[in-house]
Amino acid sequence: MKFGVVVFPGSNCDHDAYHVLKHVLGARVEYIWHKDTTLRLFDVIVLPGGFSYGDYLRAGAVARFAPIMPEIMHFAEKGGKVIGICNGFQILMEAGLLPGALIPNDHMRFRCQEVYLKVTNNATAFTRVYDAGQVIKMPIAHYCGQYFAEDDILKQLQDQERIAFQYCDSKGEINAAANPNGSKLNIAGILNEEKNVLGMMPHPERAAESILDSEDGLGIFKSLLGSD
Amino acid sequence: MWLAKIVVTYKKGILDPEAKTIQHALVTLGYQNIEGLETGKYFEVRLKSDLKRNQAEKLIYEICDRVLSNPVIQKYSVELVEAE
């Protein structure tokens, strides 16, 4: 099991993801430079958080045309596992690997805080170590994290069990008060139809050591490590 | 030279919190007659003059659809003019 963490100009959670995988979990991990045009052999690709290309135009809109991206799209289309965190989620959305769009938070403020998430689908390669409906805690740090999709797409996401995580309160209640950015259906993370691509706004790599208050994010990487 | 003037705005129904904030500020300042306000992004793209108009148009629409706008949430308008 080998992980690859893509480094774009402006990525700033690449080292965090690398650190958690290598030093906390002892996994094999390498960086992937955005200008590479061939992909070495990986089992999981991480698109990390940050502000790739300064978030110019729209968050993720320029990174999605980086030289490495056709290879990553191809990897995903063949069934390779890809996880996009925060800016990585925005890139996946712009690349069309996940439906919908991430628009500025409804209150127009950058939110950096811990949130509670409900594990809405624990039957995926990314979430298998969690219990169904488990409430986990990890931070968000974004300005452009309001998930938007038309109603028919939202229904499809629900019907196909493609909502991985939803913002909730500490008791697991999904309500407006627990929604930090105005996302439709309190969506914090979604999957593609084949469920080999996950995009999420919260940062599991920032909640992976006890000194950081929460280790709940480790479950995602552990799930992947245990997956086929 | 061809000059394309492109304006990208949010589609109807997409929350534009920046516009809402500006509108609220204007009303607070006493501009009571404002009924609505939208924000957007403006681009000027210059193209080589040896392109025919239909070629220039095709190129601009392709750029708008593929890069300058996100069709999930945005719409755009284009004005293509001949310029010095």
**Average of per-residue pLDDT across B8-29:** 92
DSSP state of A2: E
Say if CB A135 and CB A117 are below 8 A apart. yes
pLDDT confidence of residue B13: 87
What does the mean pLDDT of chain B come to? 95
Domain A2-225, CATH: 3.40.50.880
A15 is catalytic: no
Note if A13 is an active site residue: no
ipTM of this complex prediction, to 2 decimal places: 0.82
CA dist., res. A74 & res. B24, Å (int):
46
CB A204 within 8 A of CB A141: no
Number of H helices, E strands in chain B: 2, 3
For chain B, domain boundaries: 2-82
Which residues does chain B have within 8 Å of residue A104's beta carbon, measured at their own beta carbons?
Answer: 17-18
A99 versus B17: the higher-pLDDT residue is: A99
Ordered by start, the domain boundaries in chain A are: 2-225
| Mutation to test the A interface, candidates B45, B64, B72, most A Cβ within 10 Å | B72
For the domain spanning B2-82, the CATH number is 3.30.1280.10
Q: Taking CB atoms and an 8 Å limit, are A182 and B68 in contact across chains? A: no
Rounded to an integer, the average pLDDT of B72-76 is 96
pLDDT of A193 reads 98
- With tokens 């994290």, the residue in question is A145
Q: Please, are residues A105 and A142 in contact by the beta-carbon 8 Å criterion?
A: yes
Q: How confident is the model at residue B17 (pLDDT cuts 50, 70, 90)?
A: confident
Say which residue the tokens 């925005």 belong to.
A90
What is the tens place of the pLDDT at every residue in A22-51? 999 999 999 999 999 999 999 999 999 999
Residue A20 · residue A218 · CB < 8 Å: yes
* Residues of chain A scoring pLDDT < 50: none
